[in-house]
Amino acid sequence: MLPGLLLIAPALLAIALLYVVPLARSVIFAFVDEGGGLTTAHLRTAVELYGRDVVFTVLVALASLILISVVSIAIAGYLTLGATPWAVTALRWLYRWPLFIPFIVAGQTARSFLARNGLMNGLLIDSGLMDPAMAQSLLDWRGLVLTFAWKQVPFVTLLLAGAMASIDRSTIEAARNMGAGRFRCLIEIVLPQVRGTLLVGLILSLVTIMSVLSVPMMIIAGNPTMMTSMMAHRVTYYGDYAVANALGLFSYLITAVAAYAYLRMTLTQHTEGAR
């Protein structure tokens, strides 16, 4: 008993000190007033002032996750089912690059790419595909969704392509042999076998999106914006940790829902596997 406890003690201690205690502290402080009594005032202030930002955050996160799923399924699917060897090799090399770019650099890149006078519009106008008068800035929710997707697609694709590579290849061949084209094969045969991995990738991406500060700070100037931005604002300009904690509570709740869905799914898989 004792040696076992000693062995897991460092890990347990790290989780307790670095994760559980700060989490508990911030949850408690969201409900404690200056006198030390319980209050929901911070929570009410948070909803009143930042309700729109909470909704905006949820919508941006959902839109990003949808875009991330579509693109990473397409890339991983092509890596698995692609028939042109050189294209598959090239894609395998290219898709991981954004993994190694920090969020703040991604934010800066997106700023100069998506602005009204940015690189993207410049290229479109120079190539004659767009009328200069039509040029508009994408530095709003669209910029956020695009940047989050650009950063997280390689990560989800990495997980997904690995999972797709490890499924029994003959199940794919059997489907094609029976008359399924490559697209149907991807949607009806490959994807159902890796949906657990996709969900894990999306949940981890959601947690990342909920916690990134630099990207919304750099891309969005006005309101509404992501909750992280607002929390930073509250702390930096007002020193108001209580309301920031109350806002943080919403982040916890959103990620907790995702974590619950994930745990429930893995448990179902475990019981199915045990049967």
Residue 32, beta-bridge partner list = 38
For another protein, the closer CB: 133 or 275 = 275
Distance (Å, whole) CA 98 – CA 209: 15
For another protein, the closer CB: 127 or 170 = 170
Least separation in angstroms between residue 269's CB and another protein is 12
What is the CB neighbour count within 10 angstroms for residue 138?
Answer: 20
Residue 126's alpha-carbon distances to 114, 119, 120, 135, 139, in angstroms, are 15, 10, 10, 12, 21
For another protein, the closer CB: 135 or 180 = 180
For another protein, the closer CB: 126 or 188 = 188
Least separation in angstroms between residue 109's CB and another protein is 39
Least separation in angstroms between residue 186's CB and another protein is 13
Residues in touch with another protein (CB under 8 A):
168, 170-171, 173-181, 184, 188-189, 192-193, 275
Contacts of 82 (CB under 8 A, 6+ apart): 88, 91
Least separation in angstroms between residue 172's CB and another protein is 8
Amino acid at residue number 30: A
The DSSP H or E segment spanning 190 is none
